Chains A and B, each alone.
Chain A
Amino acid sequence: MSTAAAAPGSNYLTNGSSVSSWLLTKDHKRIALLYLLSVTFFFFIGGIFALLIRLELLTPQGDLLQADTYNKVFTMHGQVMVFFFLIPVVPAVLGNFLVPIMIGAKDLAFPRINLLSWYLYIVAGILMLWTLALGGVDTGWTFYTPLSSQFSRTNVVMAAVAVFINGFSSIFTGLNFIVTIHRMRAPGMTWNRLPLFIWAHYATSVIMVLGTPVIAITLLLVGFERMFHLGIFDPALGGDPLLFQHLFWFYSHPAVYIMILPSMGIVSELIACFSRKRIFGYSAVALSSIGIAVIGFLVWAHHMFVAGISLYAALVFSFLTYFVGVPSAIKVFNWTATMYKGAVTLTTPMIYAIGFLGLFTIGGLTGLFLAALGLDVHVTDTYFVVAHFHYVMVGGVVMAYLGGIHFWWPKITGRMYPEFWGKLSAMIGFVGFNLTFFPQFIVGYLGMPRRYWMYAPEFQVWNVLSTAGATVLAVGYLMPLVYLTWSLRYGPVVGDNPWGAVGLEWMTTSPPPTENFLEPPVVTWEAYDYEHIKEVPVAY
Chain B
Amino acid sequence: MLKYFPLWPDQASNFAGSVDGLYIFLVLVSIAMFVLIGAASITFAVVYRRREGVEATPIEGSTILELIWSVIPFIVFMIIFGWGATIYFDERTPPRDAVEMYAVAKQWMWKFEHPEGQREINELHVPMGRNIKIIMTSQDVIHSLYFPAFRIKQDVLPGRYTTLWFNATQVGEFHLFCAEYCGTQHSNMIGKIVVMQPAEYELWLNGGNNGRTSLVGTGQKLFTELGCSTCHKSDVQGRGPVLAGVFGKQQLLQDGRLVKVDEDYVRESILNPQAKIVSGFQPIMPTFQGQVSEEQLVSLVAYVKSLKAEGQPSNVAQAQPQQVK
Contacts and interface: CB of A to CB of B under 8 A. Distances in A.
Interface string A330-374: 101110110111111110000000100110011001101101111
Given A151-B107, A326-B73, A371 B84 contact: yes
5 contacts: A151-B141, A314-B92, A344-B49, A374-B90, A452-B187
Interface residues of A, number: 92
A138 interface: yes
A334 B61 contact: yes
Which has the most chain A C-beta neighbours within 10 Å: B15, B86, B107, B144?
Answer: B144
Contacts of A282: 60-61
Given A322-B77, A339-B41, A372-B81, A447 B146 contact: yes
A381 B142 contact: no
Interface string B163-195: 000000000000101111111111110000000
Secondary structure dominating the interface of A? helix
A135 interface: no
Given A306-B144, A326-B73, A530-B56, A375 B19 contact: yes
B294 to A, nearest CB: 11
B155 interface: yes
Given A150-B141, A458-B6, 4 more contacts: A235-B157, A236-B159, A368-B30, A372-B83
A369 B81 contact: no
A447 B159 contact: no
A147 interface: yes
B58 A277 contact: yes
B44 A71 contact: no
Interface size of B as a range? 35 or more
Contacts of A466: none
Contacts of B153: 306, 377-378, 380-381
Interface stretch (B63-71, B95-103, B221-229, B243-251): B63-71
B53 to A, nearest CB: 10
A519 interface: no
Interface stretch (B31-39, B114-122, B255-263, B298-306): B31-39
Contact of A344 (B40, B44, B144): B44
B69 A358 contact: no
A445 B50 contact: no
B158 A235 contact: yes
B62 interface: yes
A329 interface: yes
Interface stretch (B21-29, B126-134, B234-242, B276-284): B21-29
A36 interface: no
A280 B61 contact: yes
Contacts of A167: none
A409 interface: no
A306 B37 contact: no
B70 A329 contact: yes
Given A276-B56, A340-B48, A453-B187, A374 B83 contact: yes
A370 to B, nearest CB: 10
Contacts of A144: 141-142, 180-181
Nearest to B107: A151
A412 to B, nearest CB: 25
A276 B50 CA distance: 9
